[in-house]
Structure 1
Amino acid sequence: MEQMIPSRLATLGHPQRLAIFRLLMRRYPDRLPAGELAEVLGLKASTLSAYLSALMQARLVTQERVGTSLRYAIDMTEVRHTFDYLLLDCCRGRPEVCSPVSLPQVTGTTAMSDPKYKVLFICTGNSARSIFAESILRNEAGDRFDVYSAGTKPYSELNPFALEVLEQKGHDISALRAKNVSEFHGEDAPRFDFVFTVCNQAANEDCPAWEGQPVSAHWGMPDPVQVEGTDAQKSLAFHQAYGALQNRIKAFTALPVSSLDRISLQRAVDDIGAAQAGASA
């Protein structure tokens, strides 16, 4: 494995190969089609293919055929081996020397113990999926979590079908509003323990790191707003999105958050996203 380290570092030394790696890390454990990677990063198909080939040769990325599409994902086992080598060999196992100042508990040995955790759900418009997630978690475990949601669009409005579903499920919608993520940056913003993206477009965006390095995960799902057809067909799509998010959030609230260390929590929230994505595939 040590022989691979120089090759991996050299491969990631190229800005566009690094951009692919970072995007796949943000979307982990999702497998992304080449077309989506090319669109997000603005790369020609031939150029992307060459960069992906280099990343696979360095064993940082894996390829899998799904139907007629080739999909790519981070090889997390090999990436962890690389990080372990850099930490344990180069840093001689001294995390206090090598860990970032903003992430003092890089080893993940300390459990989270705050009495009430702050959670942010992000989508593009903050009009449906993230609003669902905010409402569901507040209803399921509002005594343990302070819940917020936001969108990456400069401006958005709550979707009427989403509001109708929430009312039918018994949620209080009076205080709900579409918000931009800019409201949650700055000195007075909440310090989040968890940040979840619930749409692919928001997860693909290269956003600044959150203060305090919260545990984050991508729980992507189809956008019910994009469904066309009759009002009944549209309503069904919103009900399905609500149900999928409810399943994820119930699994999340069942986690013993206060007794899990950071690494265990990260794996758990990644597993929730991967399991639900597989169930809906």
Structure 2
Amino acid sequence: MEIKLTSQLSALAHPQRLALFRLLMRRYPDAVPAGEIATALAQKANTVSAYLSTLSAAGLILSQRQGTSLLYQAHLNGLRGVFDQLLSDCCQNRPDICTPPDHETALIPTAERPLNVLFICTGNSARSIMAEAILTQEGHGRFIAHSAGSQPATAPQLEVLALLRAKGHDTATLRSKHLSAVSGEVAPQMDFVFTVCNHAANEACPAWPGQPMSAHWGLPDPVMTRGTEAQKQLAYQQAYGLLRNRIRAFAALPFDTLNRLSLQHHLDDIGRHKATERS
């Protein structure tokens, strides 16, 4: 076991391998093609292949074949093993390091203390804007929804605003803004941070104060749809439907019965939900 721990720590000690592993953690539960990883890290394909091989051998990532492509995913059990070995027996005399999950403070949204939820995508003009509007409505005052982008557009897409208004959402306060607008000293402390596009999840995000819970809820960008006007409108409808399904599932979680570990599993499961709704 000591040999395995040494190999795992050695695999993560290399800055670029660590960056790759962090990318896969941000994208979890997605499995990501090697080519997309290379593009995101601005590395050559053969270099990334070597990094992936080292991390796989250390038991920190998993691979699966899809057609002719290999997809890679963070191996959470492997990562847990690293911490288990590093902190073995610490709870016998260091509870300040290893607090059992059941003792952690629960996150319970109420009208008196609504929880702050941030949705991130690159442009903050479509998916994250939809998510902000949907949670504002579906949260019934128990959540305060925010959205931002790493490379924000000048304004939300007109098609998005029209769709939201047609579905009964108030769009008066929706605007595209940079992550810095919601991560500064005067910004509200986030309780949840969700990435809704793969590109944003591939990027390194700010260090959020208070360690908010996070998950990746990626979905295709409707703005990139090519084809007829009807096909483009359908793409916006499908994105809206998928986000609404996920946000409804999130808002309906039994927060008062979930510790953080259980809650994280639910958040990841919601990100795996692919069904769409057109209404």
TM-score by length of 2: 0.92
Counterpart of 2:226 in structure 1 is 228
- What is the letter of the counterpart of residue 15 of structure 1? P
Residue 109 in 1 paired to residue 96 in 2?
no
How many corresponding residue pairs?
272
Percent of aligned pairs with the same residue?
56
Offset from partner CA, 1:21-44 (integer Å, 9 cap, x none): 111111111100000000011111
- What is the letter of the counterpart of residue 65 of structure 1? R
CA contact (8 A) 1:120 1:150 kept: yes
Counterpart of 1:123 in structure 2 is 121
The structural deviation recorded for 1:185 is 1.9
Change in 2 beyond 3 A, CA 1:144/1:203: same
Counterpart of 1:266 in structure 2 is 264
**Which of 204, 209, 212 lines up with 2:210 in the alignment?**
212
Change in 2 beyond 3 A, CA 1:139/1:209: same
Deviating more after overlay: 1-10 vs 85-94: 85-94
Offset from partner CA, 1:116-158 (integer Å, 9 cap, x none): 1110111111111001111111111131101111111154311
Any gaps of 5 or more consecutive residues in structure 1? 100-104
Counterpart of 2:131 in structure 1 is 133
CA contact (8 A) 2:124 2:152 kept: no
Offset from partner CA, 1:38-57 (integer Å, 9 cap, x none): 00111111111111111111
- What is the letter of the counterpart of residue 20 of structure 1? L
The structural deviation recorded for 1:88 is 2.5
Counterpart of 1:35 in structure 2 is 35
Change in 2 beyond 3 A, CA 1:93/1:268: farther
Counterpart of 1:73 in structure 2 is 73
Runs ≥4 in structure 1, deviation > 3 angstroms?
89-93, 105-108
Change in 2 beyond 3 A, CA 1:224/1:248: same
d(CA) in 1 for partners of 2:60, 2:143: 36
Change in 2 beyond 3 A, CA 1:93/1:137: farther
**Which of 138, 148, 151 lines up with 1:150 in the alignment?**
148
Instruction: State the Cα RMSD in Å.
Output: 1.8
CA contact (8 A) 1:126 1:156 kept: no
Deviating more after overlay: 167-176 vs 119-128: 167-176
SS in 2 for 1:3: helix
d(CA) in 2 for partners of 1:30, 1:2: 30
- What is the letter of the counterpart of residue 41 of structure 2? L
Any gaps of 5 or more consecutive residues in structure 2? none
The structural deviation recorded for 1:69 is 0.9
Aligned ranges 1:233-272 → 2 under 5 Å: 233-272=231-270
d(CA) in 2 for partners of 1:88, 1:118: 35
- What is the letter of the counterpart of residue 144 of structure 2? D
Offset from partner CA, 1:185-235 (integer Å, 9 cap, x none): 222110111010100111111122101000000100000000012221111
- What is the letter of the counterpart of residue 34 of structure 1? A
- What is the letter of the counterpart of residue 107 of structure 2? M
Offset from partner CA, 1:85-120 (integer Å, 9 cap, x none): 212246766241x47xxxxx6846322246311101
Aligned ranges 1:80-99 → 2 under 5 Å: 80-89=80-89, 94-96=94-96, 98=97
Counterpart of 2:59 in structure 1 is 59
d(CA) in 2 for partners of 1:43, 1:93: 44
Aligned ranges 1:192-211 → 2 under 5 Å: 192-211=190-209
Residue 25 in 1 paired to residue 32 in 2?
no
SS in 2 for 1:82: helix
Counterpart of 1:186 in structure 2 is 184
CA contact (8 A) 1:109 1:262 kept: no
- What is the letter of the counterpart of residue 103 of structure 2? T
d(CA) in 2 for partners of 1:14, 1:175: 44
